[in-house]
Amino acid sequence: MNSRQVVFHDAGLLDYGQAWELQEHYHQLLATQPDETRDPKGYLIFVEHPHVYTLGLHGDQNNLLIDNNFLNKIGATYYKVNRGGDITYHGPGQIVGYPILDIKRFATGIKDYVFKLEQAVVNTLLQFKIEASRLPGATGVWLDAGTPSERKICAIGIRASRGISMHGFAFNINTQLDYFRWINPCGFLDKGVTSLQKELGTAVNFDQTKEILLDEIAKVFEMTIVKAL
């Protein structure tokens, strides 16, 4: 294998807990190999989750605005996880990406790694003629950043252990945005969320969008993608 090869796994619709176990499995595969001879250099999972809220390691549980009874009513689950960032929502119609990468092979550090994730999403949105950018002091990808109408279209929250990344991004495509009403997304009280569908005024081809995003990630990180069997 070459020095920048990454195995891609499209997990389809998968329970959050099962996806977390899959991440841990891939992380362990990398972490137990000698640093200089790891092959491949990483894994990349794309997945959709059933409705779920996840809270980062240092997040504020008060940003979940509903109780367990209401969670059950709306068919959602809740996890406290070991990534950075605050609370976010995952659900059908959203591309969730979990890169499990030997970071030093693909970035100069954590900040550069996050920057590249953001850039891949920005580049994907340009394919749909949507201009997006970063917002100082807030990770993720935003539309109309710095204006009263700023709104997030992709959340990012990561963890790095033994030089290997976990968790990743949640990119709203045909996402049911109503589910964001019951949290303070990423801990913000004054910022909106949006989706590709909402911005375009029509649902988009989900599988095609995944392919575009995968291609942009490969370009930005200069990685060679090998699809898992």
Sign of CA dihedral 14, 121, 222, 31: negative
What's 35's DSSP letter?
G
Cα dihedral 47/50/55/61 (nearest 10):
170
Q: Which of 11-15, 41-45, 137-141 has the lowest mean pLDDT?
A: 137-141
Sign of CA dihedral 140, 145, 148, 150: negative
Main-chain dihedrals φ then ψ at residue 188, nearest 5 degrees: -90, 135
CA 229 to CA 226: how far, in whole Å? Answer: 9
| Ramachandran bin of 214, using left for φ above 0, alpha for ψ from -120 to 50, beta for the remaining angles | alpha
Main-chain dihedrals φ then ψ at residue 155, nearest 5 degrees: -95, 150
Mean pLDDT of 104-114: 95
What are the beta bridge partners of residue 157?
168
Catalytic residue flag (residue 154): no
Which contiguous run of DSSP H or E holds residue 170?
strand 164-172
Sign of CA dihedral 75, 181, 86, 25: positive
pLDDT of residue 165 exceeding 90? yes
Q: How far is CA 77 from the centre of its chain?
A: 18
Minimal CA–CA distance to 189: which of 4, 63, 75, 57?
Answer: 63
Q: How confident is the model at residue 184, as a pLDDT?
A: 76
Q: How confident is the model at residue 56, as a pLDDT?
A: 81
Pairing of strands 77-80, 52-55: parallel
At residue 86 the predicted structure's pLDDT band, cuts being 50, 70 and 90, is confident
Which contiguous run of DSSP H or E holds residue 100?
strand 94-101
Share of the chain above pLDDT 90, in %: 68
At residue 189 the predicted structure's pLDDT band, cuts being 50, 70 and 90, is low
Main-chain dihedrals φ then ψ at residue 85, nearest 5 degrees: 90, 175
Residue predicted with more confidence, 2 or 95: 95
Q: Which of 103, 132, 173, 186 is catalytic?
A: 186
CA 218 to CA 225: how far, in whole Å? Answer: 7
Mean pLDDT of the chain: 91
Q: How many domains does the chain have?
A: 1
Q: Is 214 exposed, middle or buried (0-12, 13-18, 19+ CB in 10 A)?
A: buried
At residue 67 the predicted structure's pLDDT band, cuts being 50, 70 and 90, is confident
Mean pLDDT of 27-42: 86
Longest CA pairwise span in the chain (Å): 50
Domain holding 136, by residue range, is 5-227
Q: How confident is the model at residue 39, as a pLDDT?
A: 79
Q: How confident is the model at residue 51, as a pLDDT?
A: 95
Q: How confident is the model at residue 181, as a pLDDT?
A: 87
CATH number of the domain where residue 152 is located: 3.30.930.10
CA 17 to CA 47: how far, in whole Å? Answer: 12
Note the pLDDT tens digit of each residue in 128-145. Answer: 999 999 998 888 999 999
